[in-house]
A and B are shown apart, each in its own frame.
Chain A
């Protein structure tokens, strides 16, 4: 038995050398090299802008979205103001670069009206947006108590407003010791010009009392001023959010008025004479009121935050007002006001703009027609001082691209802006004109371009 095993092993040993030799020969008859590391990479355009208000870097193929604005101050006069911008081309290699600029769009910033979209509020003088609101989130705007306010676009009259029952209201937050100011008012001016007094007006007086003022008239023509106020001793300048609603119930011969704060009745004026108004165009103002005739010695401009401004053409019940004050979210608050005439939540980003015309402006009614812009790219003008409404949407300028700095070098670009030389309408003053600028670097002889956008650039009218 042991011998047979030995024989078998011997036989295998005799065969294996042959197999091994055969395998070796096969390897030697072909020789291979696998090149595993062959690679090539395409280049990209790389460049940056640097101006007094910020910097913006871009790398192709994506466009660069820049924060801030190349237009950093107000167009406060007919004289040209300018901003210098250092543009650096950091692309590796390449021979020959060109550049162009364009005004993509120009329109006033807005706070959208969710129930009457054609009538947004237009903020002025850089109202601070997207601050924390009553429910958290960023559904509120902050007003500085100095120059900032917002007005709506479509005029009404105090007479029309007084001719029906309605309710108006909003949320506000004022810091302790702040000066209060106008919250919501109807005024016979599209801007902050004092006229004959607001009617109606809701405001916070310097002692932190919430007040409302309306014009009334008995059968005789002697006007009656209704003034409602939250109780003295309660200071709402406490850093907390408060909801205020004024309900106006017009009856056949009299008017009932109720002022609510945080869902509770703060003051009542029942059976007052009928409210009256004029036929003059008037505009809703948020953050400002004409202080003529107001009791409590208020200031015009409000200091603090405002959100959820509404007007609804019904007299809200106490329960409805309480529900508004108890709303747990912006959406639930909006839902309660679904049938409102106006609802301005004040949560819009600066890129939200109003592209319609302004009834109170002359000419073509476009606010951007009142401000001019120029842009010089190195030694070449993309365009000379031209009204913004004429520049918006016309495409890249100059039509024949200007030379751009080569790889690794810089040049100065300059934007200039000014009010129109003559015929400037002061109703545009302070409007936040969102001027979307774009600049692009192009590699000569190719379609490669690196685009920079400033989607939130603002210049004041």
Chain B
């Protein structure tokens, strides 16, 4: 018996090095857990059938001394990340029978390290949602309370870690899709700097916003995964080259200055979330950090701007799913009919809604009022964020305005669902790295979370303050 609950990447590495257990034994333990829990929680859409082979391959790396920290580490990957010769559907019916013909760069990196890819996890269709309820394959449930959502869109990848069905996982973020489920499931989730991790082979939603983002049970695990994946990739033209990834700021440790934009969450935040956030700030203050009240007047409109820019990108991006070259195809009398029927039946409600909204904000007569204006606001938010980072090391907010909500609670009210990501949007619009860290629990025993944002390519600082905060917070 391996104690999965308390495993970390370094503990597993130590266990494999010292032959306490083999890669196969470790994976079998996870598979047993998956068998017990996945029917109810639905973290995985599919557990791959070659997992044990992968484990045996990883074992060889230990035998010939080529193992790295990630060798033999069981990963879950979101269903929008391509893994050659394996199915990938982005949680959508339109890609139900699609098999990846190449590896995404992140999967290639993990394979090189000898990580074990256990399966593909459930997600909101095309990553559109904050609850993992819009998946064409069923809803995932929160392991802390199965009547509640795990958050989304990377809900399956969060549930897999929170219920020990994998040790670490990859999700993707366009607006909080890893930080929000981290918050709801008591995990650490990092949205890296835009361009830090390759998007090659990741099914796109909003190209100017998307980033592959890791989940883990603690800051150190997330740090190890990020460090392995953060590198320039010539296959992704938005991947940032090495010389532009300068880490100018060095740690100032105890004298960090943390900016808190209190004015952004005067209203609409659950009192328990607010109290927990204030307590966390108090702890940081007592440990020597400076807490500064900051104003970010344009960031107030980040979610509105996001809900214009993202659908615009969605409507363009998803035009490739046309029933012609791959995926679901419905017969029709002529070409246009095949398009319309395949897209009508292949896309779910939320995907259709966003495609139409994007078509609308980009159409003649509305382009200036919506898309153009939103782009300018985005620029203003970027300016004010860069400006603020001249005075503070971090920006802190609660990760989400509430703890996990009930299944179905917001499904019929799109705007209520969108508002879950109110504190997430600016990091995606600006491109700054942001990390969610568990900060406590509410009266129902549901996890609460705090979010730190740092300047471009200062993930190292997020890991430092994250570890410091874990120490101040103690075990949960």
A complexed with B = no
